[in-house]
Amino acid sequence: MNIYAIKAIYLFEMARTMRTLMQSIASPVLSTSLYFIVFGSAIGSRMVEIDGIHYGAFIVPGLIMLTLLSESVNNAAFGIHMPRFTGAIYEILAAPISTREIVIGFVGAAATKSVILGLIIMLTARLFVDYSIAHPFIFLLFLILTSLSFCLFGFIVGVWADGFEKLQIIPLMVLTPLTFLGGTFYSINMLPPLWQTITLFNPVVYLVSGFRWAFYESSDVSVAVSLGMVCAFLLLCLFIVHLIFKTGYKLKS
């Protein structure tokens, strides 16, 4: 394995983050902080507990996941789309670097940024609400697996998108609605039986539910099922990325 090639791509992507700290880190942290202020402190103080958890604390895992999903996709999609836009991707493909090393470099950097962002938001939430993490290892496991999975998904989106406007379609038109309807601000057990069944077809439900279990040992679905769904999505994305490089889809043409 060409460690130097991986390191070069990884450090280049991380350096880009340092040059755009306001957009990469400060902006999503500020946006999430507003959710904590409005829903956690203002509205949460007037709402009853959910499953014995104060409402402000209840929404912490969901809000972290809301930012994590969108930023993971955005970071990875923009990271691979820029070389395609500038034509630098052909130099990368012509270099003595395997497809595995290219993916590790781009996706690894994007996942690192997402994990750091998730941890910053977790610490920021402490300024607004009190919460606890019952299972730190499970918390980190979900954080890392989710970041990797959706960075791979973002890599796929970055290859698929023909222009910068298309990079925003999936995060804004698909991921954000699914996250809001996936139990970020409520428990799906509060819904009528029919809607509970329909909601279970939303994959984000399993991510938010498993992440919330790591905090409070309270979830809408089994944590084992949640973990299985994350791993299944990770494997699916790996398979699609493999097909992209095997066929040269939008990379070699």
Question: Over 70: is that where the pLDDT of 44 sits?
Answer: no
d(CA 225, CA 171): 24
How many other C-beta atoms are found inside a 10 Å radius of the C-beta of residue 1? 9
How large is the average pLDDT for residues 153-178? 85
CA distances from 186 to 43, 98, 134 (A): 13, 44, 20
CA distances from 58 to 29, 44, 50, 116, 200 (A): 18, 9, 7, 22, 19
* Least confident interval from 16-25, 51-60, 101-110, 125-134: 16-25
Give 102-150 pLDDT, tens digit per residue.
Answer: 889 999 999 999 999 999 999 988 888 888 899 999 999 999 999 999 9
At 168, which amino acid appears? Q
Closest CA to 119 of 140, 95, 98, 135: 140
How large is the average pLDDT for residues 87-93? 79
d(CA 182, CA 40): 18
* Least confident interval from 168-177, 210-219, 235-244: 168-177
